[in-house]
Structure 1
Amino acid sequence: MGKPSRVILITGASDGIGAELARQWAARHREAVVLVLAARSLDKLEGVAAACRSAGASVLVEPCDVGVKADCDRLVASTVHAHGRIDVLVNNAGVSAHALLSDVPDLGWYEDVMRTNLWGAVWCTHAALPHLLASRGQIVAVSSLAGLVGVPGRTAYSASKFAMTGFFEALRVEVAARGVSVTIAYPGVVDTQIRYRGYDALGRPAGRSGLDERGAMSVETCARLILDGTEARTRDIVMSAKGRAGRWLKLIAPGLVDRLALKALNQEAKA
């Protein structure tokens, strides 16, 4: 009897990093993986699923809003019911935002950002943890460089990603002795639409990016780095030399890091 396929659960899999990660996983491992793809958009999920199936992977599509705890619980239950196990949980679902705090009249959407970026990952991880312990599996958290260095104009987003980073760093120590690894990925500016769809000061879709998009990393490269790091059970995936330098400069030259963070803003957005 052959070795059972690894069951990979990816949230936020309808487009961007999550969708590309699913496609690359399918292309790399084909029949050796079962992909469970979760997001709010069923139509987009089906398109990603079709590409993965054409590469030879088995795919289960699960509509899920990670900002709703019941959806997260149902996602994990459906995965285990269908496949009996979870080997890798990729907490990728997220929402962006860009606004100066002084321009925000109502903080309600700050709570929405935190619910999706932090609580969605916490709820999915809590529900999946018994199964990951059983499989000695892996947890992947897609954070952000904004979860390592505060970015002006991104107080809501940075807060959610700093919280996400802290949660998974603490969890990593809790579960390491029981055979579960935690990998935290820190993408910088990646060529996706997440910032254009993120919140503006009034809680509306921004329609533009608040960051300088020149030199944005391709989504293909970002997904490949996450997949490579996951397979190596890498502790942290910091994807650029600038990001790696920023972690250390923050300790020894914090004022310089502040100036670099300001420079990263879209000049039009600051005007």
Structure 2
Amino acid sequence: MSHFRDKIVWITGASGGIGEALAYRFASAGAKLILSARREKELQRVKDACEGDGENIAILPLDLEATSSFSSKTQAAIEAFGHLDILINNGGISQRSLASETSLEVDRRLMEINYFGTVALTKALLPHFTSRGQGHIAVVSSLVGKFGTPYRSAYAASKHALHGFFDSLRAELYKYPIHITMLCPGFIHTQVSVNALTADGSPLGEMDDAQQQGMDPDTCARQMLAAIASKKEEAYMGGKEKYGVLVKRFIPRLFSRIVRKTKVR
């Protein structure tokens, strides 16, 4: 996709899943990449597997809970290739537990990583985009950022919060222009459920049936790049679960009956 040739793209959560698939897609499109996640070894693996010149890919370890480091991390990302064109806020963590059984500490951790980590990194980079008068922020939310389902109460809350923040930010930045795209995947075949937090904060350690049968991450990444290239405000990826957005909006009582009977684990 020639739109991204020589664009400088910073991807968080790039060590696996959707983030890894996005790295491969952007690299094949000729972009220069900064790959971030906590696991440096896995970032190196992704870099080595990317198409093209390795000199066009920088590794920048990043922990979304360590917000005090974001100023220096952002400066390092800018210095890697001189500036940034696109930030992909993809890093995060999911949840698989009933709300009534989930400790408040788990609720707080989901918000700290998914919401505050994303918002803090965006705020750290925003002066760079506004000073250049351009930029694009893509946020990997979720379909549960549009509606809630069982076993994902805190996860859904953190993703809903992102929509509220970035819808407001989009309105504030219209004059620059700085574009914001909310990307909402449904069931994607990744390790997200394996790493999801349970009621006591421990990882689930197994893949959901729904995740197992989900969309291939490369297909998801291809659709995400198309949405970013088109400067869409919001886009949905996945199977029939995508239609939940419309059912929730226009027939909410029907949606409530469907979602409580749907197997989401």
1:96 aligned onto 2:94: yes
Confirm whether residue 170 of structure 1 aligns to residue 168 of structure 2: yes
Q: Output aligned runs, 1:88-127, within 5 Å.
A: 88-104=86-102, 106-127=103-124
Aligned equivalent of 1:180: 178
1:18 is paired with a residue of what secondary structure?
Answer: helix
Range with bigger deviation, 110-119 or 233-242 = 233-242
Distance change (3 Å), C-alpha of 1:214 and 1:35: closer
Which of 27, 30, 36 is equivalent to 1:38? Answer: 36
Post-superposition shift, 1:215?
Answer: 3.6
SS at match of 1:181: strand
Q: 1:161 to 1:211 in 2, by over 3 A?
A: farther
Aligned residue for 2:12?
11
In structure 1, the residue matched to 2:82 is 84
Count of matched residue positions in the alignment of Structure 1 and Structure 2: 259
SS in 2 for 1:176: coil
Kept after mapping to 1: 8 A contact 2:142/2:159: yes
Residue 128 of structure 2 aligns with an amino acid whose one-letter code is: H
Q: TM-score, normalised by structure 1?
A: 0.90
Aligned to 2:52: 55
Alignment correspondent of 2:27: 26
Within a 5 Å distance, the mapping from 1:201-212 to structure 2 comes to 201-209=199-207, 212=210
In angstroms, what is the RMSD of aligned CA positions? 1.8
Deviation at 1:126, TM superposition (A): 0.3
Q: Please say if residues 64 and 91 of structure 2, whose CA atoms lie closer than 8 Å, have aligned partners that are also in contact.
A: yes
1:215-230 equivalent positions in 2, closer than 5 A? 215-230=213-228
TM-score scaled by structure 2? 0.92
Contact 1:212 1:264 in 2 (8 A): no
Matches of 1:231 and 1:246, distance apart in 2: 25
Q: Report the Cα distance in structure 2 between the residues aligned to 1:15 and 1:160, rounded to whole angstroms.
A: 21
How far the C-alpha of 1:135 sits from its partner, in A, is 5.0
For the pair 1:137 / 2:138, whether they are aligned, the reply is no
Instruction: Give 1:55's aligned amino acid.
Output: G
User: What are structure 1's unaligned runs of at least 5 residues?
Assistant: none
Q: 1:151 aligns with which of 132, 149, 164?
A: 149
Q: 1:186 and 1:142 mapped to 2: Cα distance? A: 6
Question: How far is 1:102 from its partner?
Answer: 1.6
User: Aligned partners of 1:185, 1:73: CA distance in 2, in Å?
Assistant: 25
- 1:47–1:214 Cα change, 3 Å: closer
Q: 1:243 Cα deviation (Å)?
A: 4.6
CA distance, structure 1, for counterparts of residue 27 and residue 211 of structure 2: 29
